[in-house]
């Protein structure tokens, strides 16, 4: 009699059971991948905003202390030279507050949804998410109170936020 090579019925059943257990354990993890993707998008945008804010501040300090870009008319705060399109304005603390400002903006310059949008779109260059004030048309809806900009993420229940404090330069996020 010839020696047959192959799997027995018991071995095949054990493999199928093991695959079934793995699928039952792994499937819920894959089902939650959408929530993980939204969290990654929010945290990535928050990190990019924080980095960009610090880059603006660094360019402000460089210009203020005699860097190659210098200061236009003794004012380092308006149309920050050497960053982006040279149109970002900063407050007295050197944190971005938008574009089209005038004079020497104070550290406590109040932010509006429009100036918050200017900060977001002018310091995050390239393929930045969309911001605006109308829900349903943008990735982040912008609101403002005193020196704080709040960007509410719309693609996952509109309960996740990024905040930017123009007085301190702090960027934080909350993901629910």
Strand partners, 162: 151, 173
Average pLDDT over all residues of the chain: 89
Mean pLDDT computed over 83-111:
93
Residue 47 domain flag = yes
At residue 76, the pLDDT reads 86
On the question of pLDDT at 58 being above 80, the answer is: yes
User: Token pair 């109040």 is at which residue?
Assistant: 110
Distance of CA 95 to CAs 29, 33, 34, 135, Å?
41, 36, 34, 27
Q: What is the pTM of this model?
A: 0.81
Residue 153 domain flag = yes
Q: How confident is the model at residue 22 (pLDDT cuts 50, 70, 90)?
A: confident
Residue 166 domain flag = yes
Residue 1 domain flag = no
Residue 2 domain flag = no
Range of the domain at 15: 10-174
> Are the C-beta atoms of residues 149 and 111 closer than 8 Å to each other?
yes
The count of structural domains within the chain is: 1
């Amino acid at each position: 009699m010839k020696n047959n090579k192959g799997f027995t019925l018991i071995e095949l059943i054990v493999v199928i059971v093991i695959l079934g257990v793995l699928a039952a354990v792994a499937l819920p993890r894959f089902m939650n991948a959408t929530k993980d993707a939204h969290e990654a998008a929010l945290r990535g945008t928050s990190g990019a905003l924080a980095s960009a804010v610090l880059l603006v501040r660094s360019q402000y300090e460089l210009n203020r202390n005699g860097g190659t870009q210098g200061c236009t008319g003794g004012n380092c705060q308006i149309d920050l030279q050497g960053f982006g399109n040279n149109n970002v304005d900063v407050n007295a603390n050197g944190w971005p507050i938008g574009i089209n400002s005038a004079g020497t903006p104070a550290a406590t310059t109040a932010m509006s949804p429009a100036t918050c949008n200017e900060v977001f779109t002018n310091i995050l260059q390239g393929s930045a998410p969309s911001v605006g004030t109308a829900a349903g048309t943008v990735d982040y809806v912008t609101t403002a109170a005193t020196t704080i900009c709040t960007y509410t993420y719309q693609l996952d229940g509109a309960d996740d936020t990024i905040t930017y404090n123009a007085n301190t330069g702090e960027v934080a996020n909350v993901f629910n």
